[in-house]
């Protein structure tokens, strides 16, 4: 967020703020008169389906990873009502969007199958023989 016109997700990917919509509504729950009179709950909507900043590969990855957060129009929906002010909830929603998208775009390294070393195999066999010997010594001797 260097210049404020984008949300920086990763060093090479950012979301233009022009693609994000904010909707303010009244927050529920405790808070007394303040909560009844002010619209501090923020609903952030990002149009993933029509975003120009996302490649087709990223879009597909985000669509599968964020399926629970997508509505029928392909909009990513994030709600924030934890804080008392609209501005703070807006910042919290921005941070949560960045966190969610960063996590969804992360590609896990593929596991490379490895074989146990000769020393590890020998150590395992020695341990098994030691255990077997211990059990064998517990048996009563038959004459």
Whether residue 32 is contained in a domain is answered as yes
Whether residue 131 is contained in a domain is answered as no
Contact 40, 85 (CB under 8 A): yes
Q: What per-residue confidence (pLDDT) applies to 36?
A: 63
CATH number at residue 31: 3.30.160.20
Q: What per-residue confidence (pLDDT) applies to 1?
A: 44
pTM: 0.69
Number of domains in the chain: 1
Q: What per-residue confidence (pLDDT) applies to 114?
A: 93
Whether residue 112 is contained in a domain is answered as no
Intervals of the chain under pLDDT 50: 1
Whether residue 33 is contained in a domain is answered as yes
Contact 105, 11 (CB under 8 A): no
Whether residue 34 is contained in a domain is answered as yes
Whether residue 123 is contained in a domain is answered as no
Angle (nearest 5°) at CA 92 between 106 and 28: 125
Identify which of 46, 41, 65 has the alpha carbon closest to the alpha carbon of residue 6.
Answer: 46
Whether residue 127 is contained in a domain is answered as no
Q: What per-residue confidence (pLDDT) applies to 31?
A: 65
Q: What per-residue confidence (pLDDT) applies to 29?
A: 66
């Amino acid at each position: 967020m260097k210049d404020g016109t984008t949300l920086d997700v990763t060093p090479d990917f950012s979301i233009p703020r022009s693609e994000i919509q904010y909707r303010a509504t009244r927050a529920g729950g405790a808070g007394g008169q303040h909560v009844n009179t002010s619209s501090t709950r923020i609903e952030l909507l990002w149009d993933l389906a029509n975003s120009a900043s996302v490649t087709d590969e990223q879009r597909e990855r985000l669509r599968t990873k964020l399926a629970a957060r997508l509505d029928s129009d392909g909009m990513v929906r994030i709600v924030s009502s934890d804080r008392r002010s609209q501005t703070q909830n807006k910042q919290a929603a921005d941070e949560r969007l960045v966190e969610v998208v960063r996590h969804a775009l992360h590609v896990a390294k593929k596991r490379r199958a490895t074989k146990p070393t000769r020393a590890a195999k020998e150590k395992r066999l020695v341990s098994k023989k030691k255990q077997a010997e211990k059990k064998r010594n517990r048996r009563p001797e038959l004459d």
